[in-house]
Amino acid sequence: MRPWLTIEGRTDDILCFENGIRIAPMLLYAVLKEVHGIERFQLIQQEDDRLELRLIADNKQEIFKAAKKAVENYLSQNGVLADVYLSEKLPEANPVSGKYKHIIAKNK
């Protein structure tokens, strides 16, 4: 039986964009959790307007298209223009702390 709730701690970052808009990690987490087929993800802000999406999913390319659209639509509705691109890397925990973040702000 799979657990219906997994607690991984509050380690995610708030994304801050050039225009001063801040997006809470739980909002982006909720957007990506609505994309069916994602087993695990990590959204990493590489630049103010570029977000790297690391995915574990069966049909990775198709799932990415839906995830990209969902995130970019959500951000644009909140005044942020950003490009989401698919990473070849898999989601990973911090090698030092062992903590896993779903959302990582730039320079973290």
Which pair of structure tokens corresponds to residue 81? 């223009």
Question: Burial code of 37-69, b = ≥16 C-beta within 10 A, e = fewer?
Answer: ebeebbbbbeeeeebbbbbebeeeeebbebbbe
Give the global pTM.
0.85
**What is d(CA 47, CA 85) in angstroms, rounded to the nearest whole number?**
12
Helix, coil or strand: residue 64: helix
For residue 106, the model assigns a pLDDT of 87
Domain presence at residue 27: no
CA 86 to chain CA mean position, Å:
11
Give me the number of domains the chain comprises: 1
* Tens-digit pLDDT string for the chain (108 aa): 555 545 555 579 999 998 899 999 999 999 999 999 999 999 999 998 999 999 999 999 999 999 999 999 999 999 999 999 999 999 999 888 888 899 999 875
Which residue range(s) make up the domain with 85?
Answer: 33-104
Domain presence at residue 86: yes
Domain presence at residue 28: no
Domain presence at residue 96: yes
